[in-house]
């Protein structure tokens, strides 16, 4: 009888215990909370500060005591914990100092509470180090701190990564898998979780004391030997070495116009001042010799970027997009390494031409490398650097091809040497096309048969094959009035050079005095004795006729090929678009959470097939040699870092960085 009464009373007590536990631990799934009665935060569980919920629980306990339940329990159990009353012991387990509990009290905890308690006790670091070197500020009532937790792929609202553990932990897989998890955007009021602790706001991200490259780790892939202090390499011959970075830095105006793309980001990391500081940190850390930027907002360029880059030793050129657009492209170089030969801005907008009615632009620079004076009389070929940001619209591949043809025509004009060949070329930027798309293959292979191709297929960004109406490319792609041939060259570049006015000598003119035409009497010539009746005598040895040169310049004829465009620049990509250690696709941007590659660095080299797959460089060395590159990341790694932008990478694109070598020749 007594045992049955005990079981009858234990049942509501257990239910009361679970209700109290759920009321006081609403954030159990998000973080483990710790409490300390002193300035030192202990690593055990503790209850929340006194509040309305606690007073209600004490009221329920007092009412239960008045009904005599505690006396019944005290008569049937000799356990000291039960002598105090089962409800009192349950409340004491939650409210008393955890350090005063003994092994007997652990028997009353549920298995889930014990696992959480032991997980906290096994933490290697004290809780004050979670937010850095400084402890949490003192507030009225007990102190709360977020304890690191091991969670699944879901992002926890209260999960904070320990900075000390981050610096010391040895990564087993990819080092960028662990990063700060930004709290999600607040849900509607009826669904939003309530922060239950009065007087204390939610935890903010820790101060950025660790450089971004230690969080989103990117390896440097070296394809060369170590260069000497002068930047030259000994081997087959001395080389002029330099590094080039291409980076879409996300214009602030464009980000605000498309704010729905960045709902996953904490508002603080989207602030321009925060982003500008992070961008400058990247520039200083990688320290490229040439910097090609896209989506550079004009006012930010003149007020902050250009002065800061000038202090870092760069000379900058900027081209704003046409129309009312506020961003553009910039190319910056170090005058200690290069001398400017010419700079050509490129505008793709053509009035009255529907195919080219967009405001995208490009920038082409011709730079002369500067070799150290100690090397004597040596020279390096000029370097042509082209930077652009083509149209995004995935449906208008015809516009993208026309824009690329204009850029290639400008590059052909700037990089063409006197003998008809081209100097080394680097073409980079945001091309808004994926690898192995028709536009990508056109740049790499130098030829594209486009006639009848759906316009959306040119860039490969999205699949619109399900749509009934599809714009298809017609030949010719652009009208002859554009002044560009199907070989992506300006028509004026293909004209034969106009000969200067000929200067004829006396001997040359005398030859015409005795030619057959000169000996014929003109029709209607008045006969005058001694004047017009004389006939010249042909000297011995003179030919009977002299062939006259055709001095007229024929108009050049450029036949249009049927549905095919070409170029002769021999370009290949510095990246293979697959991570060599994992075989996963490389990612340069993550629009709407989907990783893709749209940013490239193309350079002068001859592509080649690689049958064995052992060499990552799928090209034959030419005038430019790829010496190294900064590896990209996979979509999974960027997902673990909460996508792009994030607290460590302040653009929705990743930067591309490559090192090149150019042969140094004697005159």
Reference 179, options 585, 636, 648; nearest CA is 648
Query: Quick check: is 81 in a domain?
Result: no
pLDDT at position 32 is 33
- In this structure, are residues 327 and 320 in contact, taking their beta carbons and an 8 Å threshold? yes
Which residue from 576, 597, 288, 605 is spatially nearest to 426, judged by alpha carbons? 605
Can you tell me the mean pLDDT for 351-357? 95
Distance CA 38, CA 97 (A): 11
Summary mean pLDDT of the chain:
73
How far is Cα 30 from Cα 361, in angstroms, rounded to an integer?
A: 48
The DSSP 8-state label assigned to residue 642 in this structure reads T
Please give the residue that has the higher pLDDT: either 380 or 139.
380
Flag whether 215 is in a domain: no
Enclosing H/E stretch for 602: strand 599-604
- Count CB-CB contacts under 10 A for residue 314: 21
Please count the residues of the chain. Answer: 667
End-to-end CA distance of the chain: 112
The CATH number of residue 486's host domain is 3.60.10.10
Q: How far apart are CA 237 and CA 666, in angstroms?
A: 11
The conformational region for residue 66 under phi > 0 = left, psi -120 to 50 = alpha, else beta, is alpha
pLDDT of 563 strictly over 50? yes
Assigned domain for 63 exists:
no
Judge whether 433 lies within some domain: yes
Q: What is the pLDDT of residue 211?
A: 52
Quote the pLDDT of residue 138. Answer: 45
For residues 472-485, average pLDDT:
94
For residues 603 and 626, the answer to whether their CB atoms sit within 8 Å is yes
Sign of the C-alpha dihedral computed for residues 378, 382, 387 and 390 taken in this order: negative
Domain count, the chain: 1
Neighbours of 610 (CB within 10 A): 13
Would you state the structure tokens that stand for residue 399, as one six-digit string? 């516009």
Residue 404 CA to residue 648 CA, distance in Å, equals 33
329 found inside a domain: yes
Question: What pLDDT sits at residue 540?
Answer: 66
657 vs 72 pLDDT, higher one = 657
Does 270 map to a domain?
A: yes
pLDDT band at 493 (very low <50, low <70, confident <90, very high): confident
Q: How confident is the model at residue 544 (pLDDT cuts 50, 70, 90)?
A: low
- Residue 642 φ/ψ region, left for φ over 0, alpha for ψ in the -120 to 50 degree band, beta for the rest: left
pTM of the model: 0.63
Residues 424, 449: contact at Cβ < 8 Å?
no
**Residue 267 above 50 pLDDT?**
yes
- pLDDT tens digits, 109-129: 445 444 554 544 444 444 444
Q: Is the pLDDT of residue 554 over 90?
A: no
Question: Is 358 within a domain?
Answer: yes
Token pair of 20 as six digits: 């109290």
What is the structure's pLDDT at 400?
98
How far is it, in rounded angstroms, from Cα 347 to Cα 175? 42
Question: Which whole number is the average pLDDT over 415-422?
Answer: 93
* Chain segment 217-229, per-residue pLDDT in tens: 899 999 986 554 4
Helix axes 52-66, 69-76, angle to 10 degrees: 70
Cβ-contact 361, 345 below 8 angstroms: yes
Residue that the structure tokens 């880059």 belong to: 309
pLDDT in tens, 20-70: 445 444 443 333 333 333 333 333 333 334 444 555 556 656 665 655 544
Q: What is the DSSP string of 316-370?
A: EEEEE-STT--EEEEEEE-TTTEEEEEEEEEE---TT-GGG-S--EEEEEEEEE-
Distances from the Cα of 320 to the Cα of 26, 245, 341, angstroms: 52, 20, 21
Q: What is the CA radius of gyration of the chain?
A: 38
pLDDT for the residue numbered 608:
65
- Identify whether 59 is part of a domain: no
Domain extent at residue 304: 239-460+475-491+558-665
What b/e string do you get for 440-463 counting C-beta neighbours within 10 Å, with b at 16 or more? bebbbebebebeebbbbbbbbbee
Distance CA 659, CA 362 (A): 22
From CA 246, how far away is CA 244, in angstroms rounded? 7
Structure tokens given for 198:
């009065």
> By three-state DSSP, how is residue 255 classified?
helix
pLDDT at 582: 78
Which distant-in-sequence residues (6+ apart) come within 8 Å of 641 by Cβ? Answer: 176, 179, 180, 215, 216, 648, 649
- pLDDT for the residue numbered 410: 98
pLDDT exceeds 60 at position 557: no
3-state class (DSSP) for residue 299: helix
- At 23 the three-state DSSP class reads helix
């Amino acid at each position: 009888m007594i045992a049955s009464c005990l079981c009858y009373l234990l049942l509501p007590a257990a239910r009361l215990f679970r209700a109290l536990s759920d009321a006081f631990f609403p954030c159990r799934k998000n973080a483990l909370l710790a409490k300390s009665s002193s300035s030192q935060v202990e690593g055990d569980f503790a209850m929340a500060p006194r509040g309305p919920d606690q007073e209600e629980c004490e009221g329920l306990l007092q009412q239960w005591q008045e009904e005599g339940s505690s006396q019944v329990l005290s008569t049937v159990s000799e356990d000291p914990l039960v002598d105090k009353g089962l409800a009192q012991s349950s409340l004491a387990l939650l409210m008393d100092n955890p350090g005063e509990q003994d092994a007997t009290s652990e028997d009353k905890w549920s298995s889930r509470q014990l696992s959480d308690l032991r997980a906290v006790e096994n933490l290697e670091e004290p809780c004050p180090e979670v937010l850095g070197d400084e402890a949490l500020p003192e507030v009225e009532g007990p102190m709360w701190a977020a304890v690191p937790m091991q969670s699944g792929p879901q992002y926890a609202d209260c999960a904070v990564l320990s900075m000390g553990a981050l610096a010391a932990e040895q990564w087993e897989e990819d080092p960028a898998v662990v990063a700060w998890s930004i709290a999600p955007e607040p849900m509607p009021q009826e669904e939003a979780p309530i922060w239950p602790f009065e007087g204390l706001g939610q935890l903010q991200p820790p101060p950025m004391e660790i450089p971004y490259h230690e969080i989103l780790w990117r390896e440097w892939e070296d394809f060369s030997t170590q260069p000497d202090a002068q930047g030259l390499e000994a081997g087959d011959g001395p080389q002029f070495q330099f590094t080039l970075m291409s980076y879409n830095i996300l214009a602030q105006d464009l980000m605000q116009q498309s704010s729905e793309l960045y709902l996953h980001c904490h508002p603080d990391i989207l602030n321009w001042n925060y982003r500008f500081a992070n961008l400058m940190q990247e520039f200083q850390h990688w320290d490229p010799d040439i910097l090609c930027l896209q989506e550079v907002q004009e006012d930010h360029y003149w007020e902050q970027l250009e002065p800061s880059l000038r202090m870092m030793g760069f000379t900058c050129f900027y081209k704003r997009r046409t129309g009312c657009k506020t961003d553009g492209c910039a190319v910056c170089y170090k005058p200690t390494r290069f001398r400017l030969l010419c700079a050509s801005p490129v505008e793709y907008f053509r009035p009255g031409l529907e195919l080219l009615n967009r405001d995208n632009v490009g920038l082409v620079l011709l730079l002369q490398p500067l070799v150290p004076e100690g090397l004597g009389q040596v020279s390096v070929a000029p370097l042509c650097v082209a930077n652009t940001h083509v149209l995004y619209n995935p449906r208008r591949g015809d516009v993208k091809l026309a824009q690329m043809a204009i850029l290639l025509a400008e590059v052909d004009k700037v990089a063409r040497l006197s003998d008809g060949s081209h100097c080394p070329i680097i073409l980079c930027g945001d091309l808004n096309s994926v690898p192995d798309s028709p536009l990508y293959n056109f740049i790499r292979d130098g030829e594209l048969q486009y006639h009848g191709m759906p316009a959306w297929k040119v860039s490969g960004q999205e699949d619109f094959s399900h749509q009934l109406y599809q714009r298809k490319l017609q030949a010719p792609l652009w009208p002859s009035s554009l002044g560009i041939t199907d070989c992506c060259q300006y028509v004026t570049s293909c004209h034969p050079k106009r000969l200067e006015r000929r200067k004829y000598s006396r001997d040359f003119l005398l030859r015409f005095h005795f030619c057959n035409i000169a000996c014929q009497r003109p029709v209607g010539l008045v006969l005058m004795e001694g004047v017009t009746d004389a006939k010249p005598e042909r000297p011995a040895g003179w030919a009977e006729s002299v062939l006259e040169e055709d001095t007229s310049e024929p108009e050049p004829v450029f036949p249009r090929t049927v549905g095919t465009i070409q170029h002769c620049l021999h370009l290949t990509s510095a990246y293979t678009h697959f991570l060599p250690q994992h075989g996963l696709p490389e990612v340069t941007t993550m629009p709407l959470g989907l990783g893709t590659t749209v940013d490239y660095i193309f350079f002068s080299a001859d592509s080649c097939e690689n049958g064995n797959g052992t060499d990552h460089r799928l090209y034959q060395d030419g005038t430019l040699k790829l010496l190294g590159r900064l590896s990209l990341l996979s979509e999974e790694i960027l997902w673990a870092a909460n996508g792009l932008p994030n607290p460590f990478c302040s653009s929705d694109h990743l930067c591309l960085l490559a090192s090149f070598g150019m042969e140094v020749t004697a005159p």
